[in-house]
Chain A
Amino acid sequence: MRVLVLIISMVLSASVFAKVEALTFDTPQQEETYKRLIGELRCLVCQNQNIADSNAELAQDLRARTYDLVKQGMSEQEIIDHMVQRYGDFVMYRPPLKSTTIFLWIGPFILMFVAVVLVLLYVKRRRNEEQETNVDDAKLDAARKLLESEKE
């Protein structure tokens, strides 16, 4: 019984903290667009969050602006353009491929490539070292015999 109460109170407490913004949309498509947009737009204050996850005040206002524009019937691309005009490519979590953003896009692949090359070099060197320490079978046999004789 106490466990049950505990579980119920834990479940309830989570819903107390989850501040829900009650929004109504004209069509389910509008709601879809809104949800996709707030997941794609970056919060300018806490820069590693999108505006859906952020509770910064500016993020709240940007959500409200997004909502208004969706309600006005603007398309997804039009709303993104609206935001980019004001906040630049930075506001998008997936910025367009341009000369200024090229490193964002290919940087991870460069790092990956460097890492793979380093690992390959390391493995190759290890293999060479192993080969250098190869001992011929006769010596191994002798060693094994020596060990066994000591056991007895």
Chain B
Amino acid sequence: MKKTLLPLIFFVGMAALFYFVLGKMNKGEYNPRDIPTEFIGRAAPEFALPDLFDPSETVRPSDMMGKVWLLNVWGTWCPECWREHDYLLKLKRDGVPIIGVDWRDTEEDAKDFLRRKGNPFIKVPFDPKSVAAIEWGVYGAPETFLIDAQGIIRVKHAGGMDPKVWNEKFEPWFSDGSAVK
């Protein structure tokens, strides 16, 4: 083997590796910014935030005890949240209770967004200062958690919700007939 071929072989090897990783990234199977979550199997962290539409009302995760529910962290500034919105509306129609933490948003933008595009959430705790977000270890939006009837976090998904993610990760927790088929 010629020595001058070594750099070429090295180059082809690296190119193949990058191509492989990029492919995984494009398909959404690999996200280099993903951070392993600390929350699976842990009790849902508590917070008390005012509701976006009725600030006199306080939203607390503990109010949902006894139900299987989703906590979705979103903001009008987040493009992926716009993309997943229609699917969240579909989940609402199917009877999935979703609490939508409005993260780092302005009140007007958030209200406007939900009025125009529909509101998939049963409650919208307003979190402009990342109080709940930090409590739940959120580092990007959207993020969706599934909390079981005992108040334990069972699933966390960073990124947009779509039928594939729903069926793979979330749907099994509802298959006892409590919400969606």
Contacts and interface: CB of A to CB of B under 8 A. Distances in A.
Contacts, number: 39
A64 interface: yes
Interface in B85-139: 104, 129-130, 133-137, 139
Interface string A50-67: 000000011001101100
B134 A61 contact: yes
B38 A58 contact: no
A100 to B, nearest CB: 8
Contacts of A47: 33
Interface string A15-58: 00000000000000000000000000000110100000000011
Contacts of A45: 139-140
A9 interface: no
B129 A64 contact: yes
Interface stretch (A81-89, A127-135, A139-147): A81-89
Contact of B35 (A57, A62, A65, A87): A87
A45 B143 CA distance: 14
Contacts of B177: none
Contacts of A44: 35, 139-140
Nearest to A84: B38
B28 interface: no
Contacts of B133: 58, 61
Contacts of B33: 47
23 contacts: A44-B139, A44-B140, A45-B139, A45-B140, A57-B104, A58-B130, A58-B133, A61-B104, A61-B129, A61-B134, A62-B130, A62-B134, A64-B129, A65-B130, A84-B38, A86-B135, A86-B136, A87-B38, A87-B137, A87-B139, A88-B137, A90-B35, A90-B36
Given A61-B129, A64-B129, 15 more contacts: A44-B139, A45-B139, A61-B104, A62-B134, A65-B130, A65-B134, A85-B38, A86-B38, A87-B137, A87-B139, A88-B35, A88-B37, A88-B38, A88-B137, A90-B36
Interface of A: 44-45, 47, 57-58, 61-62, 64-65, 84-88, 90
